[in-house]
Amino acid sequence: METITFNPPQTKQCPFCAETIQARAIKCRFCGEFLNTNRAKALQANHTSDSQPAAKPADDKKTDSTLFEGRPSLWAMAGSAVRGLFFLGFAVFLMLYPLEELSIFQQTENPAPPLIKLPDGDALTEPVLETEIAEDTVEESSMLALNEQQLLLFRNCRIIAGIGLVILVMLILLMKMALLKMTRYEISADRIEWSRGLLDRKVDNLDMFRVIDLKLRRSLLDCIIGVGTVALTTTDKSDPDFTFEKIRNSRRLYDVIKKASLDADRSNSVIHVE
């Protein structure tokens, strides 16, 4: 009886994304990183040394621990709040200012025709001829003039439009506020994870070794309020530019990401920090 032997394919673990790939592969089919570079060899050597039995469990616990956790500040929607106040002011103007009392909407009474005196002392009424410009002015004013019923309807529509605009602006601001506060950031030694969404919740993450540039921006008002913006430039294909917008403790977040990204890059690659 012939014996059939089956040799399973030799595999290894990608040092970048930790996915299982062929042992002879020189490029990972999951993350697209080349495995024959000095950086990959350094990561592979560190991974081999970390996988020894002598490794302490406390180190793994420290690696998986959360280094920073936070949410964007409400100051991130300052621009939306300013625009909302402008529209609220316009709505209050519509509700309070009586536009229907303007002269263009009022009906004007026809003046009495001038009197022409005759030699015997009698008076004769005779209409005065009007020019073409005067006729156009009268026709335009008569088209905009409203009667009492139309003025009342115009007033009611004006008030309803103002109230509707107030409700719409408040709903938009509340929705943006809820979406902002539902965004959550969590930083660990290996990756950045953020979740957002109100009804449709989405969670995404970014490997720390993909961070290649780090910036911190704080204006004078940001320094007074205690917020800041941290911008990242990464090699991630889906989110190459990522921003922590108006977040509190931004300086601590900056230091945490800087240290974690330096620790994750074990091949002595330089991270430019501005």
Pairing mode, if any, of strands 115-117 and 123-125? antiparallel
Average pLDDT over residues 248-265: 86
User: Cα–Cα distance between 154 and 174 in angstroms, integer?
Assistant: 30
Average pLDDT over residues 59-76: 72
- pLDDT tens, position by position, 183-228: 889 998 888 888 887 777 788 888 888 888 899 999 888 888 889 9
Most confident of the ranges 63-72, 99-108, 222-231, 261-270:
222-231
Res. 88: pLDDT tops 70: yes
CB-count exposure of residue 127 (10 Å: 0-12, 13-18, 19+): exposed
Average pLDDT over residues 76-100: 89
- Angle at which helix 78-96 crosses helix 148-181, to 10 degrees, equals 160
Looking at 182-249, list the stretches that DSSP marks H as alpha helix, in order from N- to C-terminal side: 220-225
pLDDT at 24: 78
Res. 123: pLDDT tops 80: no
Nearest to 192 by CA among 138, 141, 236: 236
Most confident of the ranges 35-39, 148-152, 213-217:
213-217
Contacts 24+ apart (CB under 8 A), 163-171: 163/91, 163/95, 165/87, 165/88, 165/90, 165/91, 165/94, 166/88, 166/91, 166/92, 169/84, 169/87, 169/88, 169/91, 170/84
Nearest to 12 by CA among 4, 36, 55, 39: 36
- Coil, strand or helix at 254: helix
- Coil, strand or helix at 191: strand
| CA distances, 211 to each of 81, 208, 231 (Å) | 33, 6, 10
Res. 265: pLDDT tops 60: yes
Domains of the chain and any CATH numbers = 11-55 (no CATH), 66-71+183-273 (2.30.29.30), 79-180 (no CATH)
CB burial readout 236-263, b (16+ within 10 A) else e? beeeeebebbbbbebeebbebbbebbbe
For residue 259, what is the DSSP state? H
Which pTM was predicted?
0.55
